[in-house]
Structure 1
Amino acid sequence: MRAMILAAGRGERMRPLTDTCPKPLLQAGGKALIEHHIERLVNAGFTEIIINHAWLGEKIEQTLGDGSHYGATFFYSRETQALETGGGIYQALPLLGNAPFLVVNGDIWCDYPFARFHHFHLQGLAHLVLVDNPIQHPSGDFYLENATVSPQGEPRLTFSGIAYYHPILFKNCTAGKFSIVPLLLEAMKNQQVSGEHYHGKWLDIGTPERLALLNALIVV
């Protein structure tokens, strides 16, 4: 099973930190944000990892290398411009293969046990990990009932940026920039999106203030 880390965002809300450094390489707890994901993925048995990049992407490749330092093999999906979540995954499909794959947003931090996906059987087209709504996103994204995710209902939960996708989800897509949300909403109409409510540690590292919060959390 392969995993993909989404690392192509410009990080506008992180400026000026991201003017000269791609967001995934910003430091937290003495290591780059993306390294926290890499170490957890490798420890969970994911040793083939796809990383997409756009803004200052060459610095990501120069810093991380081929993955051997981490006990893994890295495959890079280079984007001339950020293609958003859907477009970025679609471009990387030849690297991800024909089996379901794990995707993790590069701008979050969590202690989610990725190893559980080795024993997970995907029934539909996607499985989303949802979390309690953070202060900056109080309205949430989706409703979860009986392990099925839908766009309507209360209480709503926030999509964590951790998901398990089947390549068939992208079968009608074409190359270019697009969000994955419409694909998920269409799949939800047919109850093809399962989910879970994760209660562990999770942070969206979207601003310098939340990066500082993560540093304080890791130190503690």
Structure 2
Amino acid sequence: MKAFILAAGLGTRLKPLTDFKPKALIELNGIPLIEIIIKRLIKYDFKEIIINVHHYADQIIKFLEKNNYFNIEIKISDERELLLDTGGGLKKASWFFDDNQPFLIHNVDIISNINLKEFYEYHKSQNSVITIAVQKRNSSRYFLFDSENYLCGWENIKTGEVKIVRNPSGPISKYAFSGIHTVTPIVFKNFPDKDVFSIIDFYLTLASKYKISFYEHNNNFFFDLGKKENLIEAEKFITKTNFIKELI
């Protein structure tokens, strides 16, 4: 199975930790985030991985070389000349997913004990082109799904923006995105004619014509380590519970 790790971000919310290193190499319990994600993917049988890089890209590449690419196939999608945002990053890396099989996308700064293989298999059972891992938790932004579990919109709590992209069936439910999603390559036919764009905007555009569903994992722990305060909280949690062993 194949996967895409989004690791090209600038890590602005983690400054000054990311002033001289990429977010992917920030450590949790002494282990770089990218190593945790790679080992979790391997644990769940994802053995072909592509990683996009931009901020201090050379450090990530050297780290992978030093670790012999963790003895699996790992390719680099190089965005050093231009940061493409999440959607543009997927578009540039789409050549890697040439087997017409679903693949997993995982943010490098997301830590969760979600069973990635179960999530992948759930996607295949739903006849959806995209399945988004979500939780019922407080967030500043939410995906909106209707009673048939179809993505129908997006809400930004901070700005008050609500975007409805398809007529909902029944009441709408709000879910926070967990930074993990499974995608079927048919969506590649719908990429916009530009290089830099958000994957969220792309999904909202697709939702008007394709089934995009969700995978709720409320019983799993979850940390968005894009913020310093969350990194500190995760360190305390991991140290207290020794969950790092379960993760990888």
Same fold (TM over 0.5): yes
Q: Which amino acid aligns with 1:126?
A: I
For residues 64-213 of structure 1, the aligned pairs below 5 Å read: 64-65=64-65, 68=68, 70-79=70-79, 80-97=81-98, 98-116=100-118, 117-118=120-121, 120-121=123-124, 123-134=127-138, 137-143=139-145, 145-151=147-153, 154-173=172-191, 174-199=193-218, 200-213=220-233
Give the structure 2 partner of residue 35 of structure 1: 35
The CA distance in 2 between the partners of 1:60 and 1:113, in whole Å, is 26
Q: Is the 8 A contact 1:133 1:140 kept in 2?
A: no
Residues 131 and 67 of structure 1: is their aligned pair in 2 closer, same or farther, counting only changes over 3 Å? farther
Q: Is the 8 A contact 2:123 2:182 kept in 1?
A: no
- Could you tell me the TM-score, scaled by structure 2's length? 0.81
Match of 1:162, SS state, is: strand
Bigger drift between 195-204 and 185-194 goes to: 185-194
Q: CA RMSD in A?
A: 2.0
Deviation at 1:204, TM superposition (A): 0.8
Residues 58 and 144 of structure 1: is their aligned pair in 2 closer, same or farther, counting only changes over 3 Å? farther
Match of 1:10, SS state, is: coil
- Could you tell me the TM-score, scaled by structure 1's length? 0.90
Deviation at 1:7, TM superposition (A): 0.1
Q: Which amino acid aligns with 2:4?
A: M
Deviation at 1:181, TM superposition (A): 1.8
Bigger drift between 6-15 and 92-101 goes to: 92-101
Residues 159 and 119 of structure 1: is their aligned pair in 2 closer, same or farther, counting only changes over 3 Å? closer
Q: Is the 8 A contact 1:66 1:74 kept in 2?
A: no
* Ranges in structure 1 where 5+ consecutive residues have no aligned partner: none
Residues 167 and 203 of structure 1: is their aligned pair in 2 closer, same or farther, counting only changes over 3 Å? same
The CA distance in 2 between the partners of 1:139 and 1:57, in whole Å, is 29
Residues 32 and 60 of structure 1: is their aligned pair in 2 closer, same or farther, counting only changes over 3 Å? same
Deviation at 1:171, TM superposition (A): 1.4
Residues 207 and 54 of structure 1: is their aligned pair in 2 closer, same or farther, counting only changes over 3 Å? same
The CA distance in 2 between the partners of 1:34 and 1:142, in whole Å, is 30
The CA distance in 2 between the partners of 1:202 and 1:111, in whole Å, is 7
* Ranges in structure 2 where 5+ consecutive residues have no aligned partner: 154-163, 165-170, 241-248
Match of 2:206, SS state, is: helix
Give the structure 2 partner of residue 49 of structure 1: 49
The alignment of Structure 1 onto Structure 2 pairs a total of residues equal to: 218
Bigger drift between 56-65 and 138-147 goes to: 138-147
What does the per-residue CA deviation read over 1:158-190, in whole Å, with 9 as the maximum and x for residues that have no partner? 111111112221313245110112221122223
